[in-house]
Structure 1
Amino acid sequence: MKISTLKLSIFCITSVMMCNTLHGQICDNKFLSVKLKGLSFDTITNCTFNNNEALCIGQIRDYNNAAHIAKFSAKGTPIWSNTYAIDYFSFYPPTFFQTVYLKKIIPTIDGGYLVAGNFDKVLSPFGLPPPVKKYALLAKIDKFGVVMWSKTWANNSGNLNCSTVYETTDGDFIVYLGTDNGKKVLNLDHSYSKIARLDNKGNLKWSTLIFTNEYDAGGLGLDFKQAITQTKNKNIILGHVVYKAELYNAHYNTVRGNLHFISFDYATGKMKWESSYEYPVPVSDSLYTPDIVNVEELPDGRLSFISTLYLSTSSQPVLTKKGVTITTNNKGEIEDLIAYSPTDGSDCRIIDATAAPIYNNRTLLFRNGAKSLLTNINSTGQINWNIGYNTNGGVSPLTCLSKNKKGFNLFMSTKTSFYSQLLITDSAGIIDCANEPATIIAKSAAFDFPHDSVTTNTSMNLDAYYDYQLPFKRIEAYPLQKEIICEQATACCTDFIDSTHLKICEGKKFMLPDGTIVKDSGNYYSVTKSPLGCDSIKFYHINIDKDISKLNLGLDSCLTQSATITLLATAGYSNYYWGNSTTAGTNSYNINMPGYYKVRVSNTCGTKTDSIIIYDRCDYPIYMPGAFSPNNDGINDYYGISQLNKNRLISFKIFNRWGQLIFKTSNPNEKWDGRFRNEALQFGTFIYYIEMAGLSGNRIVAKGSFILLR
């Protein structure tokens, strides 16, 4: 093992963490510990791993309390790191949105990511008074951190949170919208949650209100977790908590919390079955609401839920908080319950869980007082291994867990530090510089409590949630500094992280080595494999050059009484060359005399010159001939407006002596050939009516008569 304190500063350019020429080992690690320093306090709430890259989400504690999303390479190098916020405000009525709380991130089939959470509506841009409502948020970002689409929801009375999201086998999304209407005051006050199916563009396919009658859904507040999965027969399984508030001494107190398991038809959202079990709580913690952090379908078709409950065992009859796996049949009826606790019997709870279906095991992230530890269990809930982690006495606890290619990614953070930490372990959770002894034991526990008291009314058509088009946008880059605390890497190869700057023409496309098509300005990256199988990262800083065909100086103009006028060429080009100058200028050019002027631009799209004439008068008098002879002799065969007249034609009309319109145009180059309805007219007198606009913009009208000669 080698210990180093090499600091690697990754400076952000726009939204991507760019490196100029950074050399180092890009190898498969046995383990790695990386400390990350930001510009403010950064609380990490959830994480995931996909395509050999780790992502984490959280919240920056600063003036804006913006959301934070960051992506890292397999060696913990920041690839990009950005802040995000709701980009909308209104002074009348006063509507401002401030703190964004991201709760969940999952990878999607197309290589992007889905993030979910909520955000605050406030009545002042300074965040005071306190928030008046919480809106639910769901957003899709691509692999480069660009927001592809977002959905925001609110209900009439209470707060709303998109707390859980799950991607189905065909790429659709199942989302859980948890609600909290606050402390119950009247008997009819209830909070009902909703489950919905969206396609990969965010379009709603169905939604089902979980109308549990006298039971409120979701738990008190919005920070509780629910679990969703899809079974082999495509049904959707939801595990969440409902509770009932009963009147006692003129106040409603929360009692009779229930674990609530439901199955929904994937195609229609209709409920197929439900089951519920009342869970015990001690008098000292009567408001306790458990999280359900994971649910999986077992190979035999049964279901296994992960949660934390107050339970007693034969060796410990007193109710203590324990992690649990709850195994049910395929109808949600509990068949087995295994409780997990430290050897000293102290309280513990499960913070996060990740599954490895091909190995039929799951790994649980426990918190036991100031300690954090991992426990790996098999499909029957029995423990394979335990391992603990040094959290500086609980100052920097582990907050989330994800499975990487060979082990686990663990993030540590706290609300009161600029530092967070990424631990990359081996398959047994080992990382020499961070491990410490810890033991969790598993014991069967009885769960003989009232059940099936919750009944969901699926015929209710009440839809209390409204979709608002409030844009969730990437705001700015959030630089991170990386410091390697310890690492042990298996020998493979030496590679380097490189970057390049490219320009492509507007409307054209560029393909990255991994096949990604780029057509917008921004920062991108591509990961390729070396012959020895190691990762090599190349960053691409791409600018789009404006299409030269769009260059335009506008219509000819005139020099008025002003001492100078300013010519304006189409904006968006890097350099402008006016006249015969070889010195680049801007898209504006001041002149003080009539003449012929031109401007030239050049970029990767090519070169183009546009010109304009500035005349010494602004309004030209209209002179029209008194006769013409359309006899095809090449002399005076057409009647129209002279090209010497620089006014802008609005309308040119010709009438016969009975007032019939026989010719009309707004094109100054179009002239009358003496024909009407494809027949040549004979000798006669005709009337013209011309409406023009001078170069000054003044309206000029002329009318008169002329003779057609044959």
Structure 2
Amino acid sequence: MHTKMQEFKKTLAFIILWMMVFIMPLQLQAQSCADEYFDIHFNTLTVQEPRSSIYTSENEILMAGNVHRYNSLLQDGWLTKFSSNGTVQWSRHYKTNVYNYVVLNTVIAVEDENFILAGNVGNVDTSFPITHLSQYAFLIKVNKYGNPIWSKILGKINVTSLTEPFSDVSGIEITKEGDYILAVNYLANKDYNVIVRTDKNGNTKWATIIQSTIQHATLGAPKIKQLKNGAIVSANFIGFADDAHPYQQQGYYFTSLNSETGALNWERFLLDTDTLSFTQKVFGEITGFTELPGGKLRFISSYADTKYFYGRETKKLFNYITDSLGFLSKVISYTNDSPPLYASSGTNIANTGNRVILMDNADTAFLMEVEPEGNIKWQKSYPGLGRSQETNALFSTEFGHYFFSFTQNGGSKFLQLIKTDPFGNGGCIGAPKNIKANDATTAFINRPIHLVYQQPSVQWNDFSLLSSADYFIKGEYGCKQLCCTDVTDTASKINLCNISSYILPNNDTIKNSGTYTIKFKTIKGCDSLVYYNVDFAFTPQLSLGADRCLGQKDTIILKTQEGYTNYVWDGLNTTENTFSVHEPGVYKVNVTNRCGFKEDTINVFKQCEFEIHMPNAFTPNGDNVNDIFRVPPQVNNLLVSFTVFNRWGQIVFRTSNISEGWNGMLKNYPAPSGTYVYYVVMKSIDGRKNISKSGYLTLVR
């Protein structure tokens, strides 16, 4: 019997091994497949806007954008990771207490499963109309859980400006060497484009600033790409007027820069021949580049000969094909049955030269794939998403195309993630489309352009005052056909006290509170996601600071550390870390959390200045009566310095601590009896007035 049992175990082990070797590798391909599609409806607590998305090396979706704060026009940066089936793994929002908004425009994957987010931070006046007070280009490096590693803000560039410059990162690429190429839109007294190369820690290697020789020139937000030969190509709208022309010349300019030095290789200007008139044109931003087989270049943009009046302003798309040096070869236009038509995003199909373009007409989403010469391979419409849809953040994989759609009504809490098969089929949400392609080569011509290229000192400064927190987002499938269904589970909440780090089951060390998702595989190869909600807490730290005074004010605001859910101010429970005081007195605040209790008190005086009264003798004989010569506690000013001199002007005691005094000792020996001189320097409680007093004291033994 024992022998038979051993034989059975050996046979069973062989069967399991055979399944692992021959069956499971096949099943592991089932998480995504080419004939699947889905539409997921997401609800969020506040209005949101997706801007950029990528597919990670771990077959996950990372989407960057912006979310409004609750009942506010102010924005935070937003980053969410989804499984390939659209299951939310985690969602973070980012803000700073220095500036009142954060905008994220784009995201790229970098080394060690980290990501770079780019956009701008600044301050706005939210009264109507909303006014931007400041705006600075901004970078954040985060780990695979969205926790910040570092953040940087662009310093001033040495250009002439009568006003505070505004800057924004509009594009970012990672080089073959692992450095970052950043495209920055910089507005000072005129428009500038800045292309910057940094190392992986955000330290500048070179920067090239591009400007027009014409004062009244408009430069749009540049887009960039590194070509196979290493060159950095940027593309952008440009419009300018000079004394020789009564109209504004408009079109797109392209530049090629040396990736090692930032020096100019070549520049080209595609002039729209129809702008040689007084009609108002609309030039949409470049949605991206393709380096075609043979070295040709392709650029896609939206356009309108006259501005459309509803939703999107453009009416058609242009596909510009140039040779490897930027000289125009061909232009193809794409038109809808009726306007508008706008290209919001695009992505290249690997190793083919084809490009998938995401579009909408402010009502319905469209996709189409174009071949290297501009022919339409396929096109689809998605009326099943609902009305009033705008789109953004397209990317493609071997299993199909993903994009985001949202309601264009000035802001929406309703977001959709759509996946189609490789030919744009989306099941019940999809329908045929009839976009037409036409030759439009004569609409643009190459013209000389004279831009100035300089290489100023550009510095990205460390910016540590950034915080992140979980953001609520919940999804539900609409139309779907899946190869796999994600399995999810939530582990018990992990509450930590006075512990600075925690090791997750996958051996990742974390230091920030939040939701963390660990991905496993089911026996069928589908994703199994386990959510770990980890909360770091520490014994409260509170300080109300130095004593305060009302003076001529009716009210002052007391403030302590933020970050706690509940504060008790003089017995009043509140969520605020501030408290209004109208009368003099002693005020208390305390906080309790699971790690402990902390309380602090502060004196608020009616007057801000107190006369200095000092004793004229003391008896340091150890009887605990008049043993210390000090500033009396009734003198509530702020002490700057308190000094005692002997009869020869030598310092025998000195302090800036109001609680300290002279004990009559000099270098560990009793000082002799006699007369000494003191000098007290203080400030009024509000720090506005200097107060001093000097006099004689007698040491009696």
Using the TM superposition, give the Cα deviation of residue 500 of structure 1 relative to its aligned residue in structure 2, in angstroms: 4.9
Q: Tell me the SS of whatever aligns to 1:192.
A: strand
Q: How does 1:395-474 map to 2 (within 5 A)?
A: 395-404=388-397, 406-413=399-406, 414=408, 415-447=410-442, 449-458=444-453, 460-461=454-455, 467=460, 469-471=462-464, 473-474=466-467
Q: Residues of 2 paired with 1:494 and 1:102: CA distance? A: 29
Q: Residues of 2 paired with 1:411 and 1:167: CA distance? A: 24
Q: Tell me the SS of whatever aligns to 2:334.
A: strand
What's 2:38 paired with?
32
Mapped contact 1:192–1:217 kept (Cα < 8 A): no
What's 2:287 paired with?
293
Task: Give the aligned residue type for 2:178.
Answer: G
The TM-score normalised by the length of structure 1 is: 0.64
Q: Residues of 2 paired with 1:393 and 1:247: CA distance? A: 50
Q: Residues of 1 paired with 2:301 and 2:82: CA distance? A: 29
Q: Greater helix percent: which structure?
A: 2
Q: Tell me the SS of whatever aligns to 1:427.
A: coil
Q: Tell me the SS of whatever aligns to 1:397.
A: strand
Q: Tell me the SS of whatever aligns to 1:293.
A: coil
What's 2:522 paired with?
530
Mapped contact 2:138–2:152 kept (Cα < 8 A): yes
What's 2:489 paired with?
497
What's 2:474 paired with?
481
Mapped contact 1:328–1:334 kept (Cα < 8 A): yes
Mapped contact 1:119–1:136 kept (Cα < 8 A): yes
User: CA separation of 1:177/1:431 partners in 2, compared to 1, >3 Å: closer, same or farther?
Assistant: same
Q: How does 1:333-412 map to 2 (within 5 A)?
A: 333-342=327-336, 344=337, 346-368=339-361, 370-390=363-383, 394-404=387-397, 406-412=399-405
Using the TM superposition, give the Cα deviation of residue 59 of structure 1 relative to its aligned residue in structure 2, in angstroms: 2.9
- Aligned-residue Cα RMSD (Å) equals 3.9
In the alignment, which of 147, 164, 170 is matched to residue 163 of structure 1?
170
User: CA separation of 1:512/1:209 partners in 2, compared to 1, >3 Å: closer, same or farther?
Assistant: farther
Q: Residues of 2 paired with 1:272 and 1:307: CA distance? A: 24
User: CA separation of 1:442/1:109 partners in 2, compared to 1, >3 Å: closer, same or farther?
Assistant: farther
In the alignment, which of 291, 298, 303 is matched to residue 304 of structure 1?
298
Using the TM superposition, give the Cα deviation of residue 481 of structure 1 relative to its aligned residue in structure 2, in angstroms: 2.5
Q: Residues of 1 paired with 2:118 and 2:451: CA distance? A: 25
- How many residues are paired up? 513
Task: Give the aligned residue type for 1:110.
Answer: D
Task: Give the aligned residue type for 2:37.
Answer: F
Q: Residues of 2 paired with 1:193 and 1:279: CA distance? A: 21
Using the TM superposition, give the Cα deviation of residue 196 of structure 1 relative to its aligned residue in structure 2, in angstroms: 0.5
User: CA separation of 1:300/1:488 partners in 2, compared to 1, >3 Å: closer, same or farther?
Assistant: same
Which consecutive residues of structure 1, in runs of 5 or more, have no partner in the other structure?
A: 1-25, 89-96, 182-188, 313-319, 548-571, 573-583, 590-618, 623-688, 705-710
Task: Give the aligned residue type for 1:297.
Answer: E
What's 1:56 paired with?
63
Q: Tell me the SS of whatever aligns to 2:351.
A: helix
User: CA separation of 1:285/1:166 partners in 2, compared to 1, >3 Å: closer, same or farther?
Assistant: farther
1:103-129 deviation digits (Å, cap 9, x = unpaired): 22222243222222234434x687987
Task: Give the aligned residue type for 1:83.
Answer: H
Mapped contact 1:304–1:328 kept (Cα < 8 A): yes
What's 1:323 paired with?
317
Q: Residues of 2 paired with 1:83 and 1:115: CA distance? A: 12
Q: Residues of 1 paired with 2:65 and 2:391: CA distance? A: 13
1:623-678 deviation digits (Å, cap 9, x = unpaired): xxxxxxxxxxxxxxxxxxxxxxxxxxxxxxxxxxxxxxxxxxxxxxxxxxxxxxxx
Which consecutive residues of structure 2, in runs of 5 or more, have no partner in the other structure?
A: 1-29, 307-313, 540-563, 565-593, 600-619, 624-651, 671-701
1:75 aligns with 2:67: no
Q: Residues of 2 paired with 1:228 and 1:136: CA distance? A: 16
User: CA separation of 1:76/1:452 partners in 2, compared to 1, >3 Å: closer, same or farther?
Assistant: same
Mapped contact 2:167–2:184 kept (Cα < 8 A): yes
Task: Give the aligned residue type for 2:50.
Answer: I
The higher-RCO structure (CA 8 Å, 6+ apart) is 1
What's 1:106 paired with?
108
Mapped contact 2:364–2:388 kept (Cα < 8 A): no
Q: Residues of 2 paired with 1:176 and 1:81: CA distance? A: 26
Q: Tell me the SS of whatever aligns to 2:399.
A: coil
Q: Residues of 1 paired with 2:660 and 2:463: CA distance? A: 42
Q: Residues of 2 paired with 1:546 and 1:117: CA distance? A: 33
Mapped contact 1:192–1:216 kept (Cα < 8 A): no
User: CA separation of 1:545/1:84 partners in 2, compared to 1, >3 Å: closer, same or farther?
Assistant: closer
Q: Tell me the SS of whatever aligns to 2:256.
A: strand
User: CA separation of 1:372/1:541 partners in 2, compared to 1, >3 Å: closer, same or farther?
Assistant: closer
The TM-score normalised by the length of structure 2 is: 0.65
In the alignment, which of 239, 254, 257 is matched to residue 250 of structure 2?
257
Q: How does 1:219-258 map to 2 (within 5 A)?
A: 219=219, 224-246=220-242, 255-258=248-251
1:534-560 deviation digits (Å, cap 9, x = unpaired): 11222333466989xxxxxxxxxxxxx
Using the TM superposition, give the Cα deviation of residue 284 of structure 1 relative to its aligned residue in structure 2, in angstroms: 7.4
Matched-pair identity in % = 23
